Amino acid sequence: MLSNKKFQPKAGPPLAEKFKISGKRIGKILTQPIPLYLALLLAINIGILAAAGEYVLITRGTAGGDSATLVQDLKAEILPAEGYTTALTWGDLGKKLVETGAIDQEQFAENHRSPTDGGADLDILGGQSSKLIAINENNSGLVLNLLWAFGLTQKSKVLDEGPMKNSDDYSFMDFASTAGWTLATKKVEDIYSSQELVSLNDFQQDLVQKIAEGVYRPCCDNHTAFPDCNHGMAALGLIELEVAAGIPEEQIYRDVLGFNSFWFPQTYLEAAVYFSQQGKEWGELDPKTLLGPEYSSASGSAVISEQVKDVPGLESGGGSCGV
């Protein structure tokens, strides 16, 4: 174990006495002429060190270019114009959510009728859909609400045995993810963890819980196994869909990060800038680490935001926990 006691060096004899060099002799040494080859060597070394120092300052300050341009480049990488696409299709999930009463189709459509609010994807509610589960700038709200409704309804060990349902201090209906869901035809307490919309065996339920416990979101400090807000419930739904489909665990983290990035673009853009200042590329980073509390919780992301607050091109903003 490391000690907090500071090391106290023992005092020794004066340096001149130790080496038996008198003041007169020191002066004589310092006035000796330096050979030409040694002077040239020193000059070269000083030049190299100065250049290296300048390079470090440049790369740490702007990652090789103007900061505002860097931010725009990273934004294009984190939030690609074409969106982020998974390997899964919606299938008949939208129809099931309507049939179980988790979604009021008319209210849901009214909420997302505009093309910029996901209106182009409302056909997902009508029946079998071959559309891939994908998120982009226009449909991020619609995808959030679809996955929120699914996560809320799917029969889940996380919802039944986790902190949402098992506390003496609060009811499971006290949260934004439950009381905040207003686009259903049934009471939320009646649809909560009520339907096996996808099949998950015991092993898969445990895997969902394991992954969910490692996934955070910047609107609060709880992991996704405590999905007390809409983003947490939606992330739980995405994890359940992918585990049920046999998607590898590593890919699930990557997909959740892709969706989180569109729900919280500012948080992950700031994280990308932070890592860029350290010479690390966004695509080389571990998604599981990025989704952990150090970077994706409210407190963790706030620390990162403080580190890059003065970088030109970054703006403030965040995701809402309501419909």
Predicted pLDDT at 145: 98
Does residue 235 sit within a domain? yes
Residue 174 counted as domain residue: yes
Distance CA 232, CA 247 (A): 20
Q: What is the pLDDT of residue 174?
A: 95
Question: b/e string for 138-175 if b means 16 or more Cβ within 10 A?
Answer: bbbbbbbbbbbbbbbbbbbbbbeebbbeeeeeeebeeb
pLDDT at 70: 87
Whether the predicted pLDDT of 131 surpasses 50: yes
CA dist., res. 101 & res. 104, Å (int) = 7
| pLDDT tens-digit series, residues 162-184 | 999 998 889 999 999 999 999 99
Q: What is the pLDDT of residue 10?
A: 41
The yes-or-no verdict on residue 39 having pLDDT over 80 is no
Residue range 269-281: mean pLDDT, rounded: 95
Q: Please check the confidence at residue 17 and state whether its pLDDT lies above 70.
A: no
Q: What is the mean pLDDT of residues 213-233?
A: 96
Interior CA angle at 284 toward 279 and 288, to 5°?
120
Q: Is 157 a member of any domain?
A: yes
The one-letter code for the residue type at 40 is: L
State the total domains in the chain.
1
182 lies in some domain:
yes
Q: What range defines the domain where residue 274 resides? A: 73-307
The candidate with the shortest Cα–Cα distance to 230, out of 212, 241, 211, 217, is 217
Q: Are 143 and 112 in contact (CB under 8 A)?
A: no
Alpha-carbon distance of 140 to 297, in angstroms, equals: 20
The total of other beta-carbon atoms located within 10 Å of residue 320's CB is 13
Is 321 domain-assigned?
A: no
CA nearest to 135, candidates 151, 150, 123, 146: 146
**88 lies in some domain:** yes
Domain assignment present for 29: no
Residue type, 190: D
Does a structural domain hold residue 39? Answer: no
The pTM for the full model equals 0.79
